[in-house]
Amino acid sequence: MKKILVFIVCLLALPINVFALGASSHAITVMDMDSNRILYNKNANERMLIASTTKIMTAIVAIESGKINDMVKVDDSVLKAYGSGIYIKPGEEISLLDLTYGLMLRSGNDAAMMIATYVSGSVEDFAKVMNDKAQKIGMKNTVFYNPHGLDEETENKSTSYDMALLMSYAMKNDIFKKIVGTKSYKVTTNKNSYVWKNKNKLLFTYEYTTGGKTGFTDKARRTLVTTASKDNLNVTVVTLNDPNDFKEHKEAYEYVFNNYTKYKVLNKDTFEVKNNKYNSKLYIKNDYYYPIKDSEKDKFSINVKLEKDKKKIKNNIAGIVEVYFDNKIVHEENVYIESNSNNNKKGFFSKILGWFK
């Protein structure tokens, strides 16, 4: 009997390896791209250096500038670039779109410099646009000083949460999504030809990967932002200062895909308002989905707010429907009233014609 007890005590004394997401990262955020729900996080709001993941903002600003199809003549600003590059030379002619491919696939610091000076005239003015965009997206703890992420002279800082917001926003742009999901890209300019292979290893090793951006400096260490999609779940993962980033991103995706589903909270085909005071049908135009675990279905509540004064109804909008999850509002959708004025009211001449039928 004593031997058995000793054996049990020894077992209890052994170390137990407990799986934890982002175990080696200093900060991690796992976000549903469509709803921005945080599915997992650690130190999500701690401001840190972000290295070349900066270029996500550089790319989306370039794409939204309205100049993405312009031809750019490379100037001497690229000579100030160092570190990773696509090695373009002054006098070379290349499209802004191709520069953005070089920026995202090869992390070209020279491409970043050329994009900034072409789009805004200078790095300083381009940084202002980056910061304005950050504020509009909701990145409250982010500041950009340069378009590339090098941090010897100026330091771009953000949080894993803010960078997840940025990537979730950027992936809604079709041009950006195509660029970051490209494995290899060929470019021919007036002086050279290039073949660029994407540095995001997950595109080649994890089948559900849809995009991403790598980053590294001696001060920031390894930074990584990636996206993946499976079964209608579209997810962003951000890790800052993580030596095992690719491995941990894959584990984060597997955790989400194995534990969450997109739940249809609002169904436009079956939407109905009880005790409807209007004489017309009320409807919504869109379905709404939210990522949940199976045990979370009872955390939803729906609240419909209709205009009390019918005269205030504009463009057939009768009010809104609010979706709450865990007592917090996560979505609003317009509620429309089906106009039946044409069915109930006939013009004067229409009535006269009706008398002779």
User: 338-348: per-residue pLDDT in tens?
Assistant: 865 444 444 45
Nearest to 160 by CA among 261, 5, 51: 51
What global pTM score does this model have?
0.88
Final residue of a structural domain among 244, 259, 274: 259
Alpha-carbon span 116 to 113, nearest angstrom: 5
Judge whether 11 lies within some domain. no
In which domain, by residue range, is 338 found? 264-343
Rg (CA), the chain: 27
In total, how many domains does the chain have?
Answer: 2
In this prediction, residues 167-186 reach a mean pLDDT of 98
Structure tokens that stand for 255 in this block: 């955790």
pLDDT band at 46 (very low <50, low <70, confident <90, very high): very high
* Cα distance between residue 238 and residue 223, in whole Å: 8
Would 138 be classed as within a structural domain? yes
Active-site positions read 52, 55, 107
Are 71 and 185 members of one domain? yes
Q: List the CATH number of the domain containing 313.
A: 2.30.140.30
DSSP bridge pairs for 184: 197
Residue 265: pLDDT over 70: yes
